[in-house]
Amino acid sequence: MSNIPSELRFAETHEWAELLEDGTVRVGVSDHAQEQLGDLVFVELPEEGEEITRGEACAVVESVKAASDIYAPITGEVVSVNEALNDSPETVNNDPYGDGWLFTIKPTDENDLDELMDADAYAEHTDE
């Protein structure tokens, strides 16, 4: 089983969210998700300043074979996106919880995070 950092929260659709010290939330896809997707060759990120809504598609990751939507784990405004992925989308495969992050959000409601799974619940969710 892949390692799941305990400080992260997870959506059922396999995005992770991490509350940073400045109150913004960093978002990426789980190790399990990148493994399922296979080699990523293109990432389409939201725009900075874009308002995104929990549960709605806000980004796209593409493997050689297929495109997959990324759903916003919480509602808020996009404050930064990981531009480095434009040149090296494979970073999502190699370091999904680190340099492979996708974007950060300024949450509209921090309580959104409580709706997400903790690491143990997510481990169970992916273990079926």
Q: According to CB under 8 A, which residues from 41 to 100 bind other proteins? A: 41-42, 44, 60, 62-67, 86
**What torsion do the CA atoms of 11, 109, 56, 62 make, to the nearest 10 degrees?**
-60
State the minimum distance, in angstroms, from the CB of residue 102 to other proteins. 16
CA 47 to chain centre: 15
- The least distance separating other proteins from the CB of residue 24, rounded to whole angstroms, comes to 26
Nearer to other proteins (CB atom), residue 67 or residue 121: 67
DSSP H helices, 2-80, are 31-37
Tell me the C-alpha distance between 33 and 49, whole Å.
26
Chain positions contacting other proteins, by CB under 8 A: 38-39, 41-42, 44, 60, 62-67, 86
